[in-house]
Structure 1
Amino acid sequence: MNKYLVFPGNNAKPLLKPLLDKRGNWGEVDCIEMKLQFVWKPEQLTVKECLQLDGIGNKYGISPIHNHLDNHKEITTKTGLVKSLRAYYTSSEQALLNSYQMHDSIPTSFIIAAQVEDFEYQSLLKRFHDLENLHSNKERTPVKHCLKNMWLIKPAALNQGKGIEICKNIKEIVRSLRSKPMNSQWLVQKYIEKPLLLNGRKFDIRVWALVTGKKEVFYYNKGYIRTSSVNYDLEGKDNYIHLTNNCLQQFGDMYGVFEKGNTLSYDQFQSYLDKEFTEYKVSMQEHFVPRIKDLIIDTYLSSKKQLHKSKKTNVFELLGYDFLIDEDFRVWLIEVNTNPYLGVPNEYIEDLLPNMLDDLLDITVDSIYPPLISRTRTINDFELIYCENGSAFSKEGKAVNKRQNFNTNIYPILVLSQLPLCKQCIAHRYEEDLPKSVQKDLLQLFKQMLENDSNLELSDYLEITEKILYQLIISNQSPPEHCSNAIEALRILVSSNRVMAICESKNLKKLIGILNQDFTYDSVKRSLLEILIQASKITSIRKLLAHSGFIEVLVYNSLQTSDNNIRDACVFGLITLSSNPDKGIYVPGKSQDIKYVKEKMINHGGLVCLLHFSLLSDMKFKNQILELFETDVSIDDWKRLIRVINDNINGFGDFPFVLGETKLNIALAEIENIINNKLIDINRKKILQKKQKEDETRKAIEMEENMKKLEEEKKHKLEIYLKKKSQELKKRKIEMIKLTKLEKDNTEKQLQEKRLAIIMKKRIEEKKNSSLRKSAIDDRDHKRLENARKKLNEKNRKKLLREWLRFKCQIEKSILRQQSKQRLKSDINKILSSFKEKSRDNSISRSAIFNQEKAFPRYSSQKLLGKTFVKEPTQKIRRPSLFTSSKINFYSKSFTEIKFNNNIHF
């Protein structure tokens, strides 16, 4: 049984063949269509049959490995990527708290169905016209990238730069969309007009990422830079200027002129950055790579559920990410590609690709099919950036997520940070509309900001929160109404979804500093305590408060203040921080935060303070404290608290000084009582549980005995009942047998009668059919004979008619001949008689008689002698056909004395 590898693309085969030969356990490498599978191939099957069979692993003991995740088009198509990121950022709690949106990762994009003017299409038109005036309340792209207002039209599912169009006005966009097939999907995306240039030419970064079926994401540390072969010019429409895909650039006239294969390594790119931007000290690894990893993790998490829908483990996907860097060093995600280009344009890629594929096989294949020959390379350049618990590539199998916090600035060089166009419009509007005295109208400004919350970021709220806190810091120097407005603004902020603006580290330190100030008004302290306690109901904020020293503030103020309201607020805050709303149920992330806060409560005196107040008889929250001790504080927590108290008594703890030794000793004694009581309760519960179990077992035994008795009685009754039933059934069976015999006889008779009837019907029908066939044959033969007879009669009739016509014509011709002969005879006789009469007259000569026209009243000489008689000498006279020799002789005697011209001939 040989092992076969099936891999897509002709360029992958020569790269993979030597790598597999080195491993020594692969028999053949074959390229088939666009599928990839590593399979053990049975000898009786071909590779194609292996790919087509379902359940081949169960039948032949094969463990196939697939190179395509299910539904990878959720991120590898342009429209799918936009939809996935849009859904992810709108549902992520951290992204919402930090106002992070989809268009902070990718340029502004609209998914348009060709020739369909829906809401998305109308939104595109509105955004385009807003950008023409450089005034848009929703545009996240900075102004510098919107000056020319250029857009790209990209097909949904094509790669390698195919089908991309660059549009400079709305007419071009509308015309292009109307020319596409109806309802076809297209991505209309804002063009980044100010990219970072490499020697005056545009470039992008190609990065490889590996996703496995075990929900692991790997980032490959070595990629390459793809450059354009033509200088960058916004006015140019040539795709060789704007698109850097190798598959497109290789057909250009300038391909390979500046860089061999139009590609550079990270080191070459870093040397260019060091040379051109020395003042900013830009580093590829420090400033670009962390942001690239963030965007890779975001794209994976946005489609994780769809990618792993079939729950396959032996599956992976090699993805090619394309990133663009603008002139402010901000990283933009362009697209994600499946089946990334594995061509070899230069020596650097020729060395890089085999190493990358070797590392890929080491992660995806060697763990399932161990190689016979160990790898020569000991380093794997794939870095794990995300995984869940149980991964073999993480330390101790723990979960890994190297995604930075969403509040991290997307500009690596803070000096070059650009404001989004929407923020500039809002800031400008506030400057025009609001009064100049900002301190007096903080509350009004804050309310207006909340109304336009969709267009603002967390940084906007951080700025105004700082102003509000500054107003509280100087509360003893400002009017009371300013302080009350600031507190009201904080209350509104806590009740909104922008509460994280308070919990930012700087703002928390300022708040705790205000609470620690001795000259702060009690009313202000009370209000701030209520605000922070309300915020602490959110688990993630509770952890931040505990980390910032809020527990020490509550302990100090509860024991030092003379105001009962402040003391009650502090005690309520300690109860809120200590309580577990999930009641022992483990929730990933949330339970860890609660555990962290409980440890802080123990280590910083919060639990000791609650214990102190539980001993007071006039305490308002005494019952709640005792209930908290019963439900949320275990014996292990009390024992740990004893150790912490002893450390503080010895001077090694973090308790506030207000918790003196006397209070701590009282607390120790009380804790011992609590532990003893809990142990007694536990023992009592155990004894009760034992008694309950014994009672339950005894009751169960009694129940079993009763059930057995009942079952025996039921069995006895059933036996009697069954006997009766069996007797009745026997009787019924005998009767049924008799009835069935009669019915059978009747049915057999009926069947025989039916059979005879059917046979008779068939015979009658056969006779009818035979008679009909005979009659039909006779009719057909009679018709044939009749038709033949008619044809013969018609033929004879036509023949007789032809003969009759021919005979009739002959008769008519003979009659006409006789008539013409008689007519000619009579005419000649008349002429001759006239000649005779005239010849008697001596005064007229015969020649004169012949020349006179009056002598021939009806027939001219031409008619007499023939049709061809003429007087000219050149013409001839044809002999009359009607004259016979006897007639001519007769007529010649009559014309003996007539003289003719010598030229006339008969």
Structure 2
Amino acid sequence: MSLKVYLDYQDPYVEPKIKSAIQRYYPSSQFVSDGKDADLQWAQYELLDFDAALANSSSLLCSYVIRKALIRKQYLWHSVLSYTTKHPDSILKKVIPETFTLELDYAEFLDDALMESYELRQELEMNEARPANERDWYILKPSMCDRAQGIRLFSTIDELQAIFDSFDEESEDEENTEENDSTGNKKLGKIVINQIRNFIAQKYIKAPLLLNNKKFHIRAYVVAFGSLKVYVNKEMLCLFAQNDYVKPTSDTNVLLSHLTNTCIQEAGRSHSVQAFWDSEVPNKDDIFKKILLVVGEVFEAAAVTQSLHFQTLDNAFEIFGVDLLISSDQTVSLLEVNAYPDFRQTGDQLSGVIERLFLSVMKTIVCPFFQTHGHETITTSEDKNEENTLVLCRDLQTRGAW
């Protein structure tokens, strides 16, 4: 019986790699035009037939239905806060920067939002009395945005007000969202405050580890399966800021020294990505062990404290992009969790990382799942000898919400 596969990832870099991995183990796969009768659905979120998968527990989806507790910044923070309240000794207590939430519709309501987030207001007021080089800095992030949209640095209430004022001004001009600047870099996208409403402000990590005087973060591909096993792909990436590191200021012209999002670095993008194990990061084995602990704990936090916003399914898996920052003292901090990560940022030179990731997903998750439902896997001696790049970091027995 051939495996019916609905494959529609809509990305010419990614989709051939997924198809190759599927055909490696199921060479007689039948690729179908929708997910209604498919055994395996591997497509963009909006194209998945969730009703069909929920009605047929022997089919497999490439995404959970609801996982806001992980992928929305505000929900992620609440997951961590709830978990660490019950588990004060959790590693998450140390690896999440101090975070505050802000909710407002327009810039003029910032004062009201700061009344609610009074601890942030107090810290910003104390900053006023300090010299600029002794202030604590904060990074503003819209809860639902990606691709570095709306991310800004600030240290005082006036600077934060100026940021929101600039958002309101930009929303009146509908022309410039995706244009390039004079250097070929993407302009930082505008946001409309009343469409976002929820923001977080995190204390900026003062002393990030630098390589060649550039800030970077680690992108770990994390695979969650069922209810719930969590794996970290051992082949991780270092994603570098485009410009040399400078001390933080509220000037948006220095953001390319602080933002490590490769999507805003169209010029020279291939130089912004490096394989973690080939990098000059010190004590890589210890760093990887810390990452396993952090990732396992944050997925457990979402599953056990925010089950309404992270609903696990026995017949679903999903690949996330988890971003982490290493400080100069070797502390690992969690930045964010991304659904449907941008695999293209890996580039042609490191495309094998993605190819091996998909093969490991097939070997570890897809094939064992379908073997229990009567689909035979074709396995060669090459497959048996090929290294599995997925490392199990958490195995929970939570109950699927559906």
Contact 1:205 1:226 in 2 (8 A): yes
Deviation at 1:2, TM superposition (A): 6.4
Look up the match of 2:301.
302
**Per-residue Cα deviation, 1:670-718 (whole angstroms, up to 9, x for no partner):** xxxxxxxxxxxxxxxxxxxxxxxxxxxxxxxxxxxxxxxxxxxxxxxxx
Cα distance in structure 2, aligned partners of 1:332 and 1:290: 13
* Correspondence for 1:813: none
- Counterpart of 1:105 in structure 2 is 95
Equivalent in 224, 242, 246 of residue 229 of structure 1:
242
Change (3 A) 1:38 1:364: farther
**Contact 2:219/2:236 (<8 A) preserved:** yes
Deviation at 1:353, TM superposition (A): 0.5
One-letter code aligned to 1:241:
S
- Structure-1 residue corresponding to 2:77: 82
The aligned counterpart of 1:157 is 144
Alignment CA distance shift 1:131-1:348 (3 Å): same
Question: Is the aligned partner of 1:263 residue 2:268?
Answer: no
Q: Deviations over 1:338-397 (max 9, x none)?
A: 11111154444211100001101222211133454215333211111211479xxxxxxx
Measured in 1, the distance between the counterparts of 2:36 and 2:297 equals 28
Question: Are residues 131 and 326 of structure 1, via their aligned partners in 2, closer, same or farther at CA, if it must alter by over 3 Å?
Answer: farther
Query: How do 1:456-535 residues align onto structure 2 when only pairs under 5 Å count?
Result: none
Q: Secondary structure at the match of 2:318?
A: strand
- CA apart distance, 1:307: 4.9
**Cα offset, 1:76, TM superposition:** 0.9
Say if 2:332 is the partner of 1:324. no
Q: Does 1:130 align with 2:96?
A: no
1:541-690 map, 5 Å: none
Distance 1:27 1:147 in 2: 62
Q: Structure 1 residues 29 and 152, CA, compared in 2 at 3 Å: closer, same or farther? A: farther
Residue identity matched to 1:105 = V
Contact 2:245 2:257 in 1 (8 A): yes
Q: Which runs of 5+ in 2 are unaligned?
A: 169-192
1:335 aligns with 2:339: no
Confirm or deny: 8 A CA contact 2:216 2:238 kept in the other structure.
yes
Residues 311 and 195 from structure 1, CA distance in 2 versus in 1: closer, same or farther, beyond 3 angstroms? Answer: closer
What is the aligned partner in structure 2 of residue 848 from structure 1? none
Paired residues for 1:292-441 under 5 Å: 292-305=291-304, 306-307=306-307, 312-343=313-344, 345-370=346-371, 371-374=376-379, 376-378=382-384, 379-388=387-396
Offset, 1:15: 1.3
Cα shift at 1:183: 7.8
Say which SS state the counterpart of residue 369 (structure 1) adopts.
helix
Query: Which residue is 1:553 aligned to?
Result: none
Change (3 A) 1:325 1:85: same
Normalised TM-score (structure 2): 0.76
| Counterpart in the other structure of 1:27 | 30
Give CA deviations for 1:211-240 in whole Å, capped at 9, x if unaligned: 111311112111011112211112563332
Hey, what does 1:191 align to over in structure 2?
A: 204
Q: How far off is 1:155 after superposition?
A: 0.8
- Give CA-to-partner distance per residue, 1:59-96, whole Å, 9 cap, x none: xx77221222243111111111111101100012644x
Q: Which residue of 2 aligns with 1:290?
A: 289
Give the AA of the match of 1:161.
Answer: A
Deviations 1:296-343 (A, max 9, x none): 122112111445876631111211111111222221111111111111
> Which string of whole-angstrom CA distances, capped at 9 and with x for unpartnered residues, describes residues 396-439 of structure 1?
xxxxxxxxxxxxxxxxxxxxxxxxxxxxxxxxxxxxxxxxxxxx
Mark the CA change 1:159 to 1:344 in structure 2 (over 3 Å): closer, same or farther.
Answer: closer
- Helix, strand or coil at the partner of 2:343: coil
Distance in 2 of aligned mates of 1:29 and 1:244: 38
3-state SS, counterpart of residue 188 of structure 1 = strand
Change (3 A) 1:194 1:51: closer
TM-score by length of 1: 0.35
Aligned position for 1:412: none
Structure 1 residues 156 and 388 mapped into 2: Cα distance closer, same or farther (>3 Å)?
closer
Aligned equivalent of 1:448: none
**What is the distance in 1 between the residues matched to 2:332 and 2:53?**
45
Query: Partners of 1:200 and 1:131 in 2: how far apart?
Result: 27
Q: Provide the rounded CA distance (Å) in 2 between the counterparts of 1:150 and 1:355.
A: 39
Q: Give SS of 2:356's match.
A: helix
- The answer to which of 107-116 and 195-204 deviates more is 107-116
Report 1 or 2 for greater relative contact order, CA contacts < 8 Å, sequence distance ≥ 6: 2
1:69, 1:317 within 8 Å by CA — same for their partners in 2? yes
- Contact 1:90–1:101, Cα closer than 8 Å, also in 2: no
Equivalents in 2 of 1:363, 1:68: separation in Å?
A: 16
Distance in 1 (CA, whole Å) between partners of 2:82 and 2:364 is 31
Cα separation, partners in 2 of 1:246 and 1:310, compared to 1, 3 Å: closer
Counterpart code for 2:241: S
Which structure has the larger Rg? 1
1:204: which partner in 2?
217
Is the alpha carbon distance of 1:264 and 1:53 closer, same or farther for their aligned partners in structure 2, counting shifts above 3 Å?
closer
| Counterpart-to-counterpart distance in 1, 2:74 and 2:143 | 5
Aligned to 1:16: 18
Cα distance in 2 for partners of 1:29, 1:146 equals 60
Code of the residue aligned with 1:228 in structure 2: it is A
**Alpha-carbon distance between aligned partners in 2 of 1:106 and 1:94, rounded to the nearest angstrom:** 13
Distance 2:327 2:74 in 1: 23
Query: Following the alignment from structure 2 to structure 1, what is the Cα–Cα distance between the partners of residues 313 and 241?
Result: 40
Letter in 2 for 1:240: L
Percent identical: 19
What does residue 121 of structure 1 align with?
117
**AA at the equivalent of 2:388:** N
Q: Verify the 8 A CA contact 1:210 1:219 in the aligned structure 2.
A: yes
Contact 2:321–2:339 (CA under 8 A) maintained in structure 1: yes
Distance 1:133 1:175 in 2: 19
2:36 & 2:341 partners in 1: Cα distance? Answer: 17
User: Does structure 1 retain, via aligned residues, the 8 Å contact 2:227–2:397?
Assistant: no
> In structure 2, what residue type is equivalent to 1:109?
T
Paired with 1:56 and 1:197, the residues of 2 have a C-alpha distance of: 45
Q: Which amino acid aligns with 1:20?
A: I
Contact persistence 2:67–2:311 (CA under 8 A): no
Distance 2:85 2:133 in 1: 25
Distance 1:388 1:297 in 2: 10
1 CA distance for matches of 2:294 and 2:377?
A: 38
CA contact (8 A) 2:223 2:231 kept: yes
Structure 2 distance, partners of 1:345, 1:78, is 24
Instruction: Work out whether 1:242 is the aligned partner of 2:282.
Output: no
Q: Secondary structure at the match of 1:159?
A: coil
Q: Which of the two has greater helix per residue?
A: 1
Alpha-carbon separation, structure 2, partners of 1:185 and 1:344: 28
- Once residues 72 and 9 of structure 2 are traced to their aligned partners in structure 1, the CA distance between those partners, rounded to angstroms, is 19
* Residues in 1 aligned to 2:378 and 2:62: alpha-carbon distance in whole angstroms: 23
| Cα distance between partner residues in 2 of 1:222 and 1:38 | 34
Which structure shows the higher strand fraction? 2
Q: 1:166 to 1:389 in 2, by over 3 A?
A: closer
Displacement of 1:192 after TM fit? 1.7
Q: 1:330 to 1:2 in 2, by over 3 A?
A: closer
What is the rounded CA distance, in whole Å, between the counterparts of 1:57 and 1:70 in structure 2?
10
| Counterpart AA for 2:101 | I
